[in-house]
Amino acid sequence: MADVSLRGVKKQFGALSVIKGVDLDVKDGEFCVFVGPSGCGKSTLLRMIAGLEEISAGSLSIGGKEMTKFGPSERGVAMVFQSYALYPHMSVEENIGFGLKMTGHSKAVIAERTAAAAKMLQLEPLLKRKPGQLSGGQRQRVAIGRAIVRNPEVFLFDEPLSNLDAALRVQMRTELLKLHQDLKATMIYVTHDQVEAMTMADKIVVLSAGQIEQVGSPLELYHRPNNLFVAGFIGSPK
Ligand code: ADP
Ligand code: MG
């Protein structure tokens, strides 16, 4: 089970209070979207869940286990970033398997998991190419492949589609939802795009200035926004 649970989570950068006390439960297998304006703390929150940023106060558990003392590679999470950061000199295949190689997995395991991920992401014909020979969407698939081969219980996505053009974004949304169905993993997905949030989420978390304004299903937020900020941001008529 990989519920993600935050209690009183805060983040300070020096005197700057960026996350001001967040309580949140993401259920096992849920597709949860963090949405909110630029600078409201979405990435910081995600990075704290990933273990890339220490929490200043509060507690964080994944699968019922307190995570504060665990490093990023010990949390059963994998993160996909907006900038794909692929290794330009390595093939698609090598890029996907690189993390596993670094963590000492056998060649057989790497080959097997890379093949499975490539199949799932329709990258099979591209395995020998270098990132420079791929389109934006294909590169983002490779970045997702790198996460999949680690068999995480929780996927963390930070605006993974924002570098893609509009048509490709729509296509990738569908692919990511299919992936979610296939893998049955918990997914936390950050975006500043309301349409993405409304069309993809089981649960939406609306953030503003380091705090949660409202948590609910897309329909709940649309029909019963707590306040004008949520109404305005989600685009519902309040
Ligand atoms: P979002 O992802 O919602 O756009 P971020 O989480 O990136 O927002 O940033 C939230 C706030 O925290 C911003 O004001 C940003 O400038 C600040 N911030 C983020 N990272 C750091 C850091 N390492 N040091 C200082 N301030 C930071
Ligand atoms: Mg961000």
Q: What is the pLDDT of residues 87-106, one digit of tens each?
A: 999 999 999 999 999 889 99
Q: Decide if the complex's ipTM is over 0.85.
A: yes
The closest of 154, 144, 159, 238 to 191, measured between CA atoms, is 159
Q: Which tens digit of pLDDT belongs to each residue from 138-151?
A: 999 999 999 999 99
Ligand (nearest to CA of 12):
1
Cα dist. 111→62, 83, 149 in Å? 29, 25, 10
Q: Are 200 and 169 in contact (CB under 8 A)?
A: no
> Ligand 1, atom 5: nearest CA belongs to which residue?
41
- Pick from 179, 40, 205: nearest CA to 123: 179
Q: Provide, rounded to the nearest whole percent, the portion of the chain with pLDDT above 70.
A: 98
Beta-carbon contacts of residue 19 (< 8 Å; ≥ 6 apart): 9, 10, 11, 41, 44, 45, 48, 56, 210
Task: Decide: 12 in ligand 1 pocket, CB within 6 A.
Answer: no
Which token pair is 24? 């949140």
CA distance 68 to 227: 33
Give the SS3 label for residue 182. helix
Question: Which of 29, 134, 214 lies closest to 144 in space, CA to CA?
Answer: 134
Alpha carbon nearest to ligand 1 atom 23, residue: 13
Which atom of ligand 1 is closest in space to residue 37's alpha carbon? 3
CA of 115 to the centre of ligand 1 (A): 37
Average pLDDT, the chain: 93
